[in-house]
């Protein structure tokens, strides 16, 4: 009864609004619409007329509501926030967002599953993309990473094949462990990543209680041109919370958008989630001092090699006004850089520098950086022009540089790229220090008894679906090489012949 009374009062209140208080419905060009309920026809029973421009525009706009889905990271949630620097780090980088204690920089963050399609459950086992767009006073900077510190592959040339293996079968249109492990049985460098992914870390309880990592090494460059290699980590100030496989299945049955709901509800309650940003540092002359390649994204930098230094804190404090215009149109790319931050020579990162920007141009158009969520807060001064949805409002007849007749935008060599001497032959080969299994073994041995049990159970659950036993044996041989107990427990869980595994392991 109370609900019905409130509804009637609401309807009455709305009916009392004067026309002056209401806003007229318009077409996309701003013309007022006379009737949004009935199409224009030739007589009461006649055909609909093509001249009903409001009808045509409404249907044509509706037909184009969907843009191409992201190839990866299609399912995500995002929010606005702010980053505050803990200090002045200009001795390491020219990047202005890190040059002053207390300096505030607006951010937009998108956290996503990697493999699964838009609308898929947020409970599925998958890395979580952790992408941060800083709107700095030197232009935008995108720090695009994951919630796990390493990745599956170390060379971008494998990326399309890896994603194809993870995605649904082109015949049966469903994801299939047979396809996944058929690929990865030939990619031993993924052993470390699988050891992270098949823990409960692969099924985060929400997006507030997970950490983020830049995964790759990047270069910080100071005003003198001196280079420091860095790795980034975002540490959740809410702690880390994960689902077991059983808890994830239970949540999936209840709410396939639980993480989105949780983030937005917490922000609207004023429980603003925050993450502390830290960096690890290595000098260029130290890169060859270890038994692994520090530019290999399948490896972490141990704390004893490169201690972490906290440099700032990020807080998410505002829900987007429109999900599509922000979360879905937000375009992140490792090529979105500011002076003082550059890509390292990591081969996977080098490919992503091209690929991510390229996919955004395909998905959103050549002017995607002009969309509000992607637009910098500083002036854009260049002679790029035209293309779909151009809104640059250029007025000068001079659209080139240099010009002898008019003053144009000028270069500033204080923002030159860093330099590096190169005297190498060109080649196509894997890195010399692969060391594919050591860190995976270290990680396994660091786990608690329960964490090991969950890891073995989760891995065996997917490997047990693989029909090709040669593929299974090869995968288990990788885990055996990481740690004998790790491999033996998988051998037992999958009822394999240990001699087959040890033969494969000793052949490597």
The DSSP-derived string for 277-294 is EEEEEE-GGGTTSSSS-T
Binding-site residue numbers are 356
**pTM score, two decimals?**
0.91
Q: What is the pLDDT of residue 407?
A: 66
Supply the range of the domain harboring residue 227.
76-374
Q: Is residue 246 part of a domain?
A: yes
**CA 398/CA 283 separation, integer angstroms:** 44
Query: Which segment of 9-13, 247-251, 320-324 scores lowest on mean pLDDT?
Result: 9-13
Q: Which residues contact 361 (CB under 8 A, 6 or more apart)?
A: 368
Radius of gyration, alpha carbons of the chain: 27
Q: How would residue 44 be classed by pLDDT, with cut points 50, 70 and 90? A: confident
Say yes or no: 450 and 316 in one domain: no
* Residue among 137, 146, 141 nearest 342 (CA): 141
pLDDT in tens, 369-398: 999 999 999 988 877 888 777 787 777 778
Single residue among 355, 374, 393 that ends a domain in this structure:
374
List the binding residues for heme.
356
Coil, strand or helix at 404: coil
Within-domain flag for 221: yes
- In the set 54, 73, 80, 258, the catalytic residue is 73
Task: Kindly state the percentage of the chain with pLDDT values over 70.
Answer: 95
Residue 5 lies in a domain: no
CB of 150 closer than 8 Å to CB of 193: yes
* Alpha-carbon span 98 to 89, nearest angstrom: 6
Indicate whether 488 and 340 sit together in one domain: no
pLDDT in tens, 266-295: 999 999 999 999 999 999 999 999 999 999
Average pLDDT over residues 117-136: 97
Structurally, the chain folds into a number of domains equal to 2
Judged by average pLDDT, the poorest of 62-71, 99-108, 120-129 is 62-71
Q: Which of 54, 80, 146, 436 is catalytic?
A: 146
CB 245 within 8 A of CB 458: yes
Structure confidence at residue 405 (pLDDT): 75
CATH assignment of the domain containing 121: 2.40.180.10
Q: Are the CB atoms for 24 and 17 separated by under 8 Å?
A: no
Distance CA 505, CA 508 (A): 6
Query: Where residue 158 falls among pLDDT bands split at 50, 70, 90?
Result: very high
Asked whether 349 and 219 are in contact (CB, 8 A), the reply is no
- 458 inside domain: yes
Instruction: Identify the CA nearest to 508 among candidates 437, 442, 430, 432.
Output: 437
Per the annotation, the verdict on 258 as an active-site residue is no
Q: How far apart, in whole angstroms, are the C-alpha atoms of residue 390 and residue 221?
A: 34
Active site residue 413: no
């Amino acid at each position: 009864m109370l609900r019905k009374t409130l509804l009637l009062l609401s309807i009455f209140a709305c009916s009392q609004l004067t026309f002056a208080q209401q806003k007229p419905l318009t077409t996309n060009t701003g013309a007022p619409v006379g009737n949004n309920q009935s199409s224009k026809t030739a007589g009461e029973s006649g055909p609909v007329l093509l001249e009903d421009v409001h009808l045509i525009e409404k249907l044509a706009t509706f037909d184009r509501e969907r843009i191409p889905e992201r190839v990866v990271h299609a399912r995500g949630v995002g929010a606005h926030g702010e980053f505050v620097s803990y200090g002045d780090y200009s001795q390491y980088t020219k990047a202005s967002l890190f040059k002053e204690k207390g300096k505030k920089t607006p951010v937009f963050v998108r956290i996503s599953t990697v493999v699964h399609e838009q609308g898929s459950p947020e409970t599925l086992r998958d890395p979580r993309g952790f992408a941060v767009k800083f709107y700095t006073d030197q232009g935008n900077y995108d720090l695009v990473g994951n919630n796990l510190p390493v990745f599956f592959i170390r060379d971008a040339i494998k990326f399309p094949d890896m994603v194809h293996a993870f995605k649904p079968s082109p015949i049966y249109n469903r994801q299939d462990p047979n396809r996944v492990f058929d690929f990865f049985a030939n990619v031993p460098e993924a052993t470390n990543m699988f050891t992270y992914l098949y823990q409960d870390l692969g099924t985060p309880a929400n997006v507030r209680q997970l950490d983020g990592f830049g995964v790759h090494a990047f270069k910080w460059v100071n005003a003198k041109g001196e280079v420091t290699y860095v790795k980034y980590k975002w540490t959740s100030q809410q702690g880390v919370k994960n689902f077991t496989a059983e808890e994830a299945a239970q949540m999936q049955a209840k709410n396939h958008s639980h993480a989105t709901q949780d983030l937005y509800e917490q922000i609207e309650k004023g429980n603003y989630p925050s993450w502390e940003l830290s960096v690890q540092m290595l000098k260029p002359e130290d890169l060859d001092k270890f038994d692994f390649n520090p530019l290999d994204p399948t490896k972490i930098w141990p704390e004893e090699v490169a201690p972490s230094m906290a440099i700032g804190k990020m807080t998410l404090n505002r829900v987007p006004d429109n999900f599509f215009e922000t979360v879905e149109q937000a375009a992140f790319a490792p090529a979105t850089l500011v002076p003082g931050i550059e890509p390292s020579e990591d081969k996977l990162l080098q490919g992503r520098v091209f690929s991510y920007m390229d996919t955004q141009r395909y998905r959103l158009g050549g002017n995607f950086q002009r969309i509000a969520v992607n637009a910098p807060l500083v002036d854009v001064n260049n002679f790029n022009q035209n293309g779909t949805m151009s809104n640059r409002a250029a007025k000068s007849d001079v659209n080139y540089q240099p010009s002898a007749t008019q003053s144009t935008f000028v270069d500033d060599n204080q923002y030159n790229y860093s330099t590096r001497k190169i005297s190498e032959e060109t080649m196509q080969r894997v890195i010399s220090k692969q060391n594919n299994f050591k860190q995976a073994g270290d990680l396994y041995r660091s786990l608690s008894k329960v964490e090991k049990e969950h890891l073995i159970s989760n891995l065996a659950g997917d490997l047990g679906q693989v029909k090709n036993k040669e593929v299974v044996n090869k995968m288990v041989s990788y885990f055996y090489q990481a740690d004998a107990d790790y491999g033996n427990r998988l051998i037992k869980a999958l009822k394999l012949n240990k001699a087959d595994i040890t033969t494969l392991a000793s052949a490597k």
